Amino acid sequence: MTQPTTSNPTDFIRDIIDDDLRTNKHEGRVATRFPPEPNGYIHIGHAKSVCLNFGIAQQYQGTCNLRMDDTDPLGESMEFVESIIHDVRWLGFDWADRLFYASDYFERLYSFAVELIRSGDAYVCSLTPDEIREHRGSFTEPGRESPYRNRSVEENLDLFSRMRAGEFADGAHVLRAKIDMASANIVMRDPIIYRIKREPHYRTGTDWVIYPMYDFAHCLSDALEGITHSICTLEFENNRPLYDWFVEKLIPGPRPKQIEFARLNLSYTVLSKRRLIELVKNHFVQGWDDPRMPTVTGMRRRGYTPEAIRNFCAQIGVAKNDNLIDISLLEHCVREDLNAHAPRALCVLHPLRVVIDNYPEDLVEEIECPNHPQDPDMGTRKLPFSRELYIEQDDFLEDPPKKYHRLGPGREVRLRNAYVIRYESMVKDEKTGQVIELHCSYDPGTRNAPPADGRKVQGVIHWVSARHAVPAEVRLYDRLFRIEDPGSEEDYTKHLNRESLEILSSCYAESSLGTTEPGLKYQFERLGYFCADPDTAPGKPVFNRIVPLRDSWAKAAGGRKG
């Protein structure tokens, strides 16, 4: 039944859409929307929703609107609108001319509210916030009806228009739907649909002092836009009866349907807006675009690609189970994309000086080497080779174990793309005893060729020519938290990984990297994938480690140590 050539995902939401299409529920139309509130930056959890909504639209030749759900002026701003637009576009999606704002519907929403008052389905309630809470009851006790519940239509109309006119203070009155104070579902106990808030709105300014609540605005915005499937997260499941109540009262069919799926949780990070804000505000990270942040802007700066993120979202699937996705799946998707597309380069993070004693003093060879071992189309570049080099400190051990395929006394190793060299001697710092320089000899016949005598050289290490190398700063990132599910902890900040950022300021990159530009991505061979940071200055590149390469040696060695 499955066609291997078409890999359109399938999930319970698409099953519902298939059914609706079969029964011609919306004349074959599929219309979704991504409805962020512009009060923060979007993160990988939003990306899941973006991919779901826009992905469904693509798959069914439907439409997906981008709609700012901006019904609470507090904290909303154009800055966030712009960041959301930028991020969703960067993720690879397009909404043509269908960028909408709930705030553009304020006048129509107001009319809907008046309609509700006229039909006796809404009333102005003048209880204080505390009294309203008290009247709401609890899980086990039904609520009590507001004494204002049976005001006349005329009085409600008058009061509501005066609310709009700004005659009352914040909190003096609210407009409520007249539903059922005894409902087992607390959402249905005469929910508030308008509140007075003397707060300028970033788009409507001071035009309004009353603002509609989410439950009222969202479903009607969907209806106004002709949304067929209104996809949201599980915590809104309780609100669905209210969603239906409003559209049934106010919208002649066919009506939008709300479908809920489980939001994404990612291991070793937090994905709640509140916590992300705290990380930024309390300077646990350096900003919304800190490469350790799970925000789209952070991941972009880190060097994650839209392809990788989209692929990740496709792989995690869509269901109603609470989940905690292993961050290694995200890393896998990032490596998968970068392995195919990132050019290779050599960069030494912890330099150890090497002198090739038998190499001519002033000779410089230009070694032409491929930018990608499996993709000749990515071309070649010239790598200067000379007598003095840097290699990685890790690639030499005074007393190496047997399976260590690198340099040590009596050992030889291949310099990537260049010669085989043999250890001759070392120079130690007299005070610390640390090895500060190696002397080696090279085998002139091994450039681009195996040793003539057929001996096997197992190890290959990366290097740069000391004279030609470009000094670079490299920033290594690790998981933000030390525990798998910090979001479930009351005091999650105490589980922050204090070593999530390591700055290496004296690295040496191959000369070709001197002209890199922010955003360019590479695989530094044997190390990982790296992305030039915006902090890069001419001649002084700064690289972010996107993700390390898988390292079965480190794993084995680590296990041995422990």
Partner RNA sequence: UGGGGAAUCGUUCAAUGGUAGGACAACGGACUCUGACUCCGUGAAUAUAGGUUCGAAUCCUGUUUCCCCAGCCA
Active-site residue numbers?
Answer: 37, 263, 273
* Per CB under 7 A, 335 contacts RNA: yes
Instruction: Name the minimum Å distance from CB 286 to RNA.
Output: 26
Among 207, 235, 499, 502, the residue binding RNA under the rule CB under 7 A is: 235
Of residues 82 through 121, those in contact with RNA by CB under 7 A are none
Among 43, 55, 72, 219, the residue binding RNA under the rule CB under 7 A is: 72
Among 460, 466, 483, 504, the residue binding RNA under the rule CB under 7 A is: 460
Token pair listed for 84: 């959301």
Number of residues counted as binding RNA (CB under 7 A): 94
Instruction: Name the minimum Å distance from CB 535 to RNA.
Output: 25
DSSP helix/strand/coil, 366: strand
The set of long-range contacts for 129-135, using a CB threshold of 8 Å and a minimum separation of 24, is 129/171, 132/174, 132/192, 135/181
CA–CA–CA angle 471, 476, 480 (5° rounding): 160
Which residues are 43's β-sheet partners?
295
Among 111, 161, 206, 315, the residue binding RNA under the rule CB under 7 A is: 315
Which residues are 211's β-sheet partners?
195
Among 92, 171, 451, 514, the residue binding RNA under the rule CB under 7 A is: 171
The smaller minimum CB distance to RNA, of residues 267 and 297, is found at 267
- Residue 103 CA to residue 114 CA, distance in Å, equals 17
* Per CB under 7 A, 425 contacts RNA: no
* Per CB under 7 A, 523 contacts RNA: yes
* Per CB under 7 A, 262 contacts RNA: yes
Per-residue interface string for the shown chain with RNA, residues 203-222, x marking contact by CB under 7 A: --------x-xxx-xx----
Q: Residues with Cβ < 8 Å from 532, sequence gap 6 or more?
A: 516, 517, 518, 519, 520, 521, 541, 542, 543, 544
Among 24, 128, 161, 206, the residue binding RNA under the rule CB under 7 A is: 128
Among 92, 287, 459, 514, the residue binding RNA under the rule CB under 7 A is: 459
DSSP of 480-524: SBSSS-GGGSTTGGGGB-TTSEEEEEEEEE-GGGGG--TT-EEEE
Instruction: Name the minimum Å distance from CB 542 to RNA.
Output: 21
- Residue 454 CA to residue 444 CA, distance in Å, equals 15
Of residues 370 through 389, those in contact with RNA by CB under 7 A are 372-374
DSSP state of 23: T
Instruction: Name the minimum Å distance from CB 344 to RNA.
Output: 5
Q: Give residue for tokens 């007393």.
A: 399
Instruction: Name the minimum Å distance from CB 170 to RNA.
Output: 6
Among 108, 118, 133, 162, the residue binding RNA under the rule CB under 7 A is: 133
* Per CB under 7 A, 405 contacts RNA: yes
Dihedral angle computed from the Cα positions of residues 61, 62, 63 and 64, in that order, rounded to the nearest 10 degrees? -100
Of residues 350 through 369, those in contact with RNA by CB under 7 A are none
Q: Give residue for tokens 């939401």.
A: 13
The smaller minimum CB distance to RNA, of residues 127 and 436, is found at 127
Dihedral angle computed from the Cα positions of residues 96, 97, 100 and 106, in that order, rounded to the nearest 10 degrees? -160
Which residues are 266's β-sheet partners?
325
* Per CB under 7 A, 555 contacts RNA: yes
- Give the helix/strand (H/E) hosting 418: none
- Alpha-carbon torsion 51, 52, 58, 59, what sign? positive
Phi, psi values for residue 461, rounded to 5°:
-125, 160
Stretch that binds RNA, among 294-302, 399-407, 502-510, 535-543 (CB under 7 A): 399-407
* Per CB under 7 A, 196 contacts RNA: yes
Among 21, 99, 157, 325, the residue binding RNA under the rule CB under 7 A is: 325
The smaller minimum CB distance to RNA, of residues 37 and 535, is found at 37
The smaller minimum CB distance to RNA, of residues 372 and 439, is found at 372
* Per CB under 7 A, 495 contacts RNA: no
Instruction: Name the minimum Å distance from CB 207 to RNA.
Output: 16
